[in-house]
Chains A and B, each alone.
Chain A
């Protein structure tokens, strides 16, 4: 083969041999004989590449980009002969410091490459590798040659997913996890059998892009312990998996470790979704630290007010300027990278409505970023899930610009379910819509656009939802002012911990009601890590800052909460057993094959006569399996009756075709193990015509 000419240097700086680089791709990439460094800045007047030797506090070299190495607004340079494993890098940019004009250049700062594929500086959780530096984060060079063999994203149909939202560290950090490397990607890998047993088929990892957990100066006023940015919703490098989550972060192998986890999860049929934060960065507002974007091109990366201040649609101090074409390309490059390089199956976009705002913060009719994501070739089969609101008042549940691709976290599902479960009046009509996959919100997109959830990281855990009327966030150091107030929770008669057997039994039953209704609702269920073990955060509904038992999964509860775990497991299994619970298209509430039953029919204490009144606290529905295309299950009927009233009610059961009988799947009023049965082991009901549903209880029957 013809030898390339560009392996020969043309310039030098001290001992470093250089050549004009390629402006694309941005970031640091390997080229024959060297590394190509390319960085964009529209307003910088000069740029210097800063090199370090790994582990050493002092600089190795500063190499200014020669003028002729800038093409357009991209500084690009090849440095030859670098010991790529032991070199770290950053940039110094010169330019105006005029905050009122939007410029924050500061050549005293060494800033992180927005395209850095790995960072050093936080190689282990809550440890600074370079504690004395004002520039604690450095870029690292990463080889993207992982051997995936036959793996690729799984492409499960979205309506078939049961999503488990989890925190990488919290999952195995507790001593009871017993894993070799607690709190890491490797720890999750060791616990894959647990996830399989639970029966979920997708994990949604709370942010794994580099963030700085030490960027929280608050102290827990109750204990005096320091607080952290534990959840990680303040990204500082979008392309870099968090080193502090890796057992091998000290070797710079976090990317390999995360890839090994993804590959192994895929081997077990579990998809990997990432919770991504493209609405703001960890640089905060005018008072915040300059880490990367602010010092590279503030005016491009952030939405700025006319006076140069930061718009704050995120509630976190700044707002990423998502629909600026350069920033939009960065987001696209980044997501493509995660899909192509890490085989990620989908993304949940935090405060996604911000991605539909223009540079001045106005909502766009046809947001270029959202459209580009929906039509991107590499992301063509990637799940795109929006948290369809932001902290600037834009609320788009049901109206998020979807281009036929986007699903949404259905906040209305959460709120309706909570209110219904606790017995609020005026919920019955909304409940029917939520159970059908919210056809009112997603008439065109179908039920699979609705990510149904009752709890998530934000807000009470499921146990706490039924143990507290009020949030108890004093430990967060903000005088209990942080966190949501509209929780629609109910403490079942006593605020918080209690020894009362009857209250504890009621709470368990409420949890079972919740998971059972979630699993029989059309749409895509999402459960929150720990709810399957009745995890409590002591009534704190905003635990973003706690690196302790409030957030760590206590694995000893696998035994002490075996009853709840079993109920979760079997409720999830039930969803897998019956395709009619996983419709791709909306139910029509009418019969359309010659079976005599509508696809879904509504009932009350009298069959075929639901109570739609404001006072109703009872509702039942029946799914008839002979309807429906792909989800057709001839001769199978599912009947679910919900009694959210404090008295028992006798429900008349709809009559089945000749020679078919009702069998009991679940009755949350019964003690374990009679509360739910394994698929195929449902006992025949003695009384086929009616069923006494206990107070605040849900039953599920199968007719066959």
Chain B
């Protein structure tokens, strides 16, 4: 798993790649959280996530809780169908707005 970030129009984009599971999820959190400022707008680009385990999903929800607590917004972009299904049937997707491609996620946060 690795994460790279960039900023466009004041929106933080985190490109997440690889497997997010119990071995890598704490690294994800440690890399992202310092970048989260109050009122942050964040897109998690999931298009290159190859596997998202139970621990990975919990980390996403933890990020959601921490970001929204400081009045920020976070959306997901580019979920693979398999990962999206898993998130849907386990209820995790209920917490997130998700968009097929990054551009749409950005657009949603610009509005």
Residues of A within 8 A of B (CB): 83-86, 143, 145-147, 180-181, 184-186, 189, 246-248, 251-253, 256-257, 259-260, 263-264
Q: List 28 A-B contacts (CB under 8 A).
A: A83-B22, A84-B55, A85-B21, A85-B22, A85-B54, A147-B91, A147-B95, A180-B85, A181-B85, A184-B89, A185-B89, A186-B88, A186-B89, A189-B89, A248-B86, A248-B89, A248-B90, A251-B86, A252-B54, A253-B54, A253-B57, A256-B54, A256-B90, A256-B91, A257-B91, A260-B90, A260-B94, A264-B91
Specify the chain B residue showing the minimal Cβ separation from A146: B91
* In the complex, B61 has a CB within 8 A of chain A: yes
Q: Mark B17-30, 1 if CB is under 8 A from A, else 0.
A: 00001110000000
Q: Which of B61-111 contact A (CB under 8 A)?
A: 61, 85-86, 88-92, 94-95
User: Which chain A residues border B53 with CB–CB below 8 Å?
Assistant: 85, 251
* In the complex, B58 has a CB within 8 A of chain A: yes
User: Which chain A residues border B90 with CB–CB below 8 Å?
Assistant: 248, 253, 256-257, 260
Give the distance in Å from the alpha carbon of A247 to the alpha carbon of B55 in the complex: 17
CB distance from B76 to the nearest CB of A (A): 16
User: Which chain B residues border A186 with CB–CB below 8 Å?
Assistant: 88-89
User: Which chain B residues border A247 with CB–CB below 8 Å?
Assistant: 85-86, 89
User: Which chain B residues border A83 with CB–CB below 8 Å?
Assistant: 22-23
User: Which chain B residues border A84 with CB–CB below 8 Å?
Assistant: 22, 55
User: Which chain B residues border A246 with CB–CB below 8 Å?
Assistant: 89
Q: Which of B46-64 contact A (CB under 8 A)?
A: 53-55, 57-58, 61
Specify the chain B residue showing the minimal Cβ separation from A262: B91
Give the distance in Å from the alpha carbon of A263 to the alpha carbon of B89 in the complex: 11
Of the residues A143, A184, A263, contact of B54 by C-beta under 8 Å = A143
CB distance from B31 to the nearest CB of A (A): 20
Q: Known contacts A85-B21, A256-B90; can you find 10 more A-B pairs with CB under 8 A?
A: A83-B22, A84-B55, A143-B58, A145-B58, A146-B91, A247-B89, A248-B89, A252-B54, A253-B86, A260-B89
User: Which chain A residues border B86 with CB–CB below 8 Å?
Assistant: 247-248, 251, 253
Give the distance in Å from the alpha carbon of A257 to the alpha carbon of B95 in the complex: 15
User: Which chain A residues border B89 with CB–CB below 8 Å?
Assistant: 181, 184-186, 189, 246-248, 257, 260
Give the distance in Å from the alpha carbon of A143 to the alpha carbon of B23 in the complex: 15
Q: Which 8 A-B pairs have the closest CB atoms?
A: A260-B91, A85-B22, A186-B89, A256-B90, A85-B55, A247-B89, A253-B54, A253-B90
Which of B22, B53, B54 has the most chain A CB atoms closer than 10 A to its own CB?
B54
CB distance from A188 to the nearest CB of B (A): 11
Specify the chain A residue showing the minimal Cβ separation from B51: A251
Give the distance in Å from the alpha carbon of A180 to the alpha carbon of B85 in the complex: 9
User: Which chain A residues border B22 with CB–CB below 8 Å?
Assistant: 83-86
User: Which chain B residues border A85 with CB–CB below 8 Å?
Assistant: 21-22, 53-55
Of the residues A147, A184, A185, contact of B61 by C-beta under 8 Å = A147
CB distance from A129 to the nearest CB of B (A): 16
Give the distance in Å from the alpha carbon of A56 to the alpha carbon of B26 in the complex: 24
Give the distance in Å from the alpha carbon of A180 to the alpha carbon of B95 in the complex: 21
Specify the chain B residue showing the minimal Cβ separation from A246: B89
Give the distance in Å from the alpha carbon of A85 to the alpha carbon of B94 in the complex: 23
CB distance from B96 to the nearest CB of A (A): 12
User: Which chain A residues border B58 with CB–CB below 8 Å?
Assistant: 143, 145
User: Which chain B residues border A256 with CB–CB below 8 Å?
Assistant: 54, 57, 90-92
User: Which chain B residues border A259 with CB–CB below 8 Å?
Assistant: 91
Give the distance in Å from the alpha carbon of A601 to the alpha carbon of B91 in the complex: 51
Which of A180, A257, A260 has the most chain B CB atoms closer than 10 A to its own CB?
A260
Specify the chain A residue showing the minimal Cβ separation from B88: A186
CB distance from B8 to the nearest CB of A (A): 30
Give the distance in Å from the alpha carbon of A189 to the alpha carbon of B57 in the complex: 20
Give the distance in Å from the alpha carbon of A130 to the alpha carbon of B54 in the complex: 21
Give the distance in Å from the alpha carbon of A257 to the alpha carbon of B89 in the complex: 6
Q: Mark B25-48, 1 if CB is under 8 A from A, else 0.
A: 000000000000000000000000
Specify the chain B residue showing the minimal Cβ separation from A256: B90
Specify the chain B residue showing the minimal Cβ separation from A263: B91
Knowing A147-B61, A257-B89, A263-B91, say if A251 contacts B23 (CB, 8 Å): no
User: Which chain A residues border B23 with CB–CB below 8 Å?
Assistant: 83, 86
Give the distance in Å from the alpha carbon of A416 to the alpha carbon of B85 in the complex: 47
Give the distance in Å from the alpha carbon of A252 to the alpha carbon of B22 in the complex: 13
Which of B57, B61, B85, B91 has the most chain A CB atoms closer than 10 A to its own CB?
B91
Give the distance in Å from the alpha carbon of A181 to the alpha carbon of B23 in the complex: 28
Give the distance in Å from the alpha carbon of A572 to the alpha carbon of B94 in the complex: 31
Give the distance in Å from the alpha carbon of A246 to the alpha carbon of B89 in the complex: 9
